[in-house]
Chains A and B, each alone.
Chain A
Amino acid sequence: MHDPAAVPWLESLNALTGGLFLLTAFGLVALRQVYGCLRLYVIQSILLASSAFLLAALDHSWHLVAVGVLDASTKAIAVPWVFRRALHDEVQTRREITQVLNVPTALLLALALAIVAYLLAAPLVAAGGGRGVNVNLPVGLAGLFVGGLTAALRREAVPLFLGLLAMENSSFFAGIAVAPDLPLLAEVAIAFDVLILVLVVNVLTRAVHEHIGTTKVGALRTLRERETR
């Protein structure tokens, strides 16, 4: 058994991790550079793995250690590797991303969504209970909403998809606290699924690039109803 005195210390460290995690989610809304977004995503994934390790130490759970290792290896290593290869072909220099909304407005919206997430999470935390839930669930829910906002505001393929991946990261961030004993088979399969998805998106991004010479997927808007004559 661990020293009981160490526990509050670990819990505040987890709270700090949660705060930083939310900060990376805000960063993904605001940042205007593709490489910067990718780096933020890697940092977010490392924070996710750290939180898994901290909760593992609190719970004495080898299971969560495995989940942390799995997350770190897929999301902090494999996913960025695939994206870097995709980016290498397309954007040699750091490219500015055009957005639908300006940064302050987007950040204000993100803040509002985060507050809504906290309000929604409160009754759930009260109903369920569990170690770390009071930090991880609201942060995860807020990250989910803010990630959705990121994806909705982006017009460039890779940053848009990083917003979606941040949503998935956030679901996991809540998941390591609310479902620490989820069968490992499911965890492995989910990680594998994310990896396949990233590969598919990579193929698709290349095809879009070859076809229309840009990866501005926001410019794709030809499919709509036409009036029948």
Chain B
Amino acid sequence: MTLVVIPALMLMAALLSALGLGRRLASAVTLAATATALALAARAALLVAAGRPIVDISGWVSLDGFGALVLVVTVFVCFLAAIFSWGYVAEHWHDVGRISAYYAHLNLFMFALVLVPVLAEPALVWIAVEGTAVFSVLLVAFDNTHGALEAAWKYIALMFMGAAAALLGFLILFWAQQSSGGGVYSWDGLRAEAPHMPVPLVMAAFLLVLVGFGAKVGFVPMHTWLPDAHSQAPSAACALLSAIKTTVALYAILRLVPLLPAGTVSGVMEFTGLLSAGVAAFLLLQVGDYKRLFAYSTVEHMGIIFAAAGLGGAGALSGAMLQLVAHSLTKSFCFFAAGAALLVLGTREIASVRGLLRTSPVAGSALLFGALAIGGAPPFALFLSEFSIFRAGLERGHYLVIALLVIFIVIAFFGILAHVNRMVFGSPPGDSGARPGHTAAPQPGTGGNAHLPFRPRLPATVTLTLVLAAIPILVLGVYQPTSLHTLASMAAAALTPGGAP
């Protein structure tokens, strides 16, 4: 019953936190729940990689290679968010009610996130993905500033609009399966029935889910809410939103791809992916807020993954899967680093920050590390996965798509590094002694957190989070364990029409 226990742990932590345990106890409960969940998820993933898919409740709760990949990454980032929150909460809030509310919301959000990969019934997956939106809205609005409320409104409006479209998509999918002879309404049942299902119906379902959940992923015409929401929430929640919530929504869309005959939607996927990657790469050149910078980078990476999955073929698909994992790990690191910088600086404005490396060596070097890693510089995980996508794409002759991807990645790389360079290097504005007021003058509603004192020392748990989050990014950049490779190829097979489920 491992798969049932993991979400149950999060739910229990949410209930306990809501009781008003006090800061230390709520932090400890959350940390214990996520640590246990991480151990269980890792064990489950190793079992799946060894060729033994887990079925807890047949047709409802099960785990295959694709699910295992998403589950492990999700729970790992939840664990990091729990450690990060420990010190962050102690710095920010002193009122027990606020702290209880924060942990209750955070745990509910994590509960919904881990449900997505373990559920096998599409209608329930729809509800879980909905849950990730509903439970994170209050986290986005948590700081209760003008900016936070605005972001939360835009967020919930677009989420719910997408939800209605995706719901109709999943209902039509059910219709398609029933009209071809029925079977169990689960990912596996659908794959088994796929060759007999009427293509127009599955196509309609795919397009509705693409539009509906694409809004949650942040695909380009529907990306406007993303930088707002991902910059206004508390940093641990930002990491979960940007690294995991987008990923689980993308996971749900990708599950529908193998139900259509091979190549039917490649064009749609490549176009959507390239559009998102391209627009985001240009948009991130002109941001003024470093959290928004990383948020646009999420839109870009979601585009890369979707375009790569659209290319098809085992190589590109497993490359896309590795990219999915590497992006989640790296992006969560970036938001933890941004959170550390925010703790030190008290502003999110890029223009007002100089010489962070001298003000706070930890936050400064973390931000630089994150920028290099998310840009896809060589010794890090994303370099390897992007490289394998390029190789697979070129082997199959998709020259135009790969060329465009390379251009967008290079633009984004320089965009991110240009912004982060300004912040990290140089001398801190306070050092010259000229204009002390220059450091923290955030605009109302956008800078937020102006009440925070200037505080170069970071809480120990924040530093610990950064170290723990950096390890997999470095390790996966030089060495990919066999089990990860097996899971990625299993996931690639699960995305290929007619491939072995």
* Contacts from A to B (Cβ < 8 Å): 120, 123-124, 127-130, 140-141, 144, 147-148, 151, 157, 160-161, 164, 167-168, 170-172, 174-175, 178-179, 181-183, 185-186, 189-190, 193, 196-197, 200-201, 203-204, 207-208, 211-212, 217, 220-223, 225-229
Query: Does A190 lie within 8 Å of B137, measured CB to CB?
Result: no
Query: Does A222 lie within 8 Å of B146, measured CB to CB?
Result: yes
Determine the residue in chain B with the shortest Cβ distance to A126. B200
Instruction: Say whether, besides A144-B164, A190-B167, A204 and B179 are in contact (CB < 8 Å).
Output: no
Of the four ranges (under 10, 10 to 19, 20 to 34, 35 or more), the interface on chain B belongs to 35 or more
Query: Does A207 lie within 8 Å of B149, measured CB to CB?
Result: yes
Main secondary structure of the interface of B (DSSP, over half): helix
A-B contact pairs, 7 of them (CB 8 A): A167-B161, A190-B127, A193-B130, A204-B138, A207-B144, A208-B149, A225-B286
Query: Does A175 lie within 8 Å of B164, measured CB to CB?
Result: no
- B172 CB-CB contact with A under 8 Å: yes
Instruction: Give the distance to chain A from B175, nearest Cβ to Cβ, in Å.
Output: 4
Return chain B residues, CB-CB under 8 Å to A201.
156
Query: Does B350 lie within 8 Å of A124, measured CB to CB?
Result: no
Instruction: Say whether, besides A164-B164, A186-B124, A189-B124, A221 and B150 are in contact (CB < 8 Å).
Output: yes
Interface residues of B in 153-175 (CB under 8 A from A): 153-154, 156-157, 160-161, 163-165, 167-168, 171-172, 174-175
Query: Does A228 lie within 8 Å of B174, measured CB to CB?
Result: no
A200 to B109, CA, bound (A): 13
- B452 CB-CB contact with A under 8 Å: no
Instruction: Give the distance to chain A from B260, nearest Cβ to Cβ, in Å.
Output: 14
Instruction: Give the distance to chain B from A135, nearest Cβ to Cβ, in Å.
Output: 15
* Contacts from B to A (Cβ < 8 Å): 121, 123-124, 126-127, 130-131, 134, 137-138, 141, 144, 146-147, 149-154, 156-157, 160-161, 163-165, 167-168, 171-172, 174-176, 178-179, 185, 198-201, 204, 227-228, 232, 283, 286-288, 292, 350-351, 419, 443, 445-446
- Select which of B130, B138, B164, B175 is within 8 A of A170 by beta carbon: B164
Determine the residue in chain A with the shortest Cβ distance to B164. A167
Q: Could you list 11 further interchain pairs (A-B, Cβ under 8 angstroms) beyond the known A170-B164, A182-B174, A228-B287? A: A127-B200, A164-B161, A164-B164, A175-B168, A181-B178, A189-B123, A197-B134, A197-B156, A204-B137, A217-B157, A228-B350
A220 to B150, CA, bound (A): 6
Instruction: Say whether, besides A204-B137, A228-B350, A223 and B168 are in contact (CB < 8 Å).
Output: no
Query: Does B167 lie within 8 Å of A225, measured CB to CB?
Result: no
Query: Does A228 lie within 8 Å of B286, measured CB to CB?
Result: yes
Determine the residue in chain B with the shortest Cβ distance to A187. B123
Return chain B residues, CB-CB under 8 Å to A203.
138
Query: Does A182 lie within 8 Å of B171, measured CB to CB?
Result: yes
- Select which of B151, B175, B178 is within 8 A of A223 by beta carbon: B151
Return chain A residues, CB-CB under 8 Å to B146.
211-212, 220, 222
- Select which of B123, B147, B198, B199 is within 8 A of A183 by beta carbon: B123
Instruction: Say whether, besides A186-B124, A193-B131, A174 and B168 are in contact (CB < 8 Å).
Output: yes
A145 to B99, CA, bound (A): 41
A217 to B150, CA, bound (A): 8
Query: Does B127 lie within 8 Å of A189, measured CB to CB?
Result: yes
A185 to B126, CA, bound (A): 13
Instruction: Name the residue in B153, B185, B445 with the highest tally of chain A Cβ atoms < 10 Å from its Cβ.
Output: B153
Instruction: Give the distance to chain B from A34, nearest Cβ to Cβ, in Å.
Output: 17
Determine the residue in chain B with the shortest Cβ distance to A211. B149
- Select which of A147, A196, A225 is within 8 A of B288 by beta carbon: A225
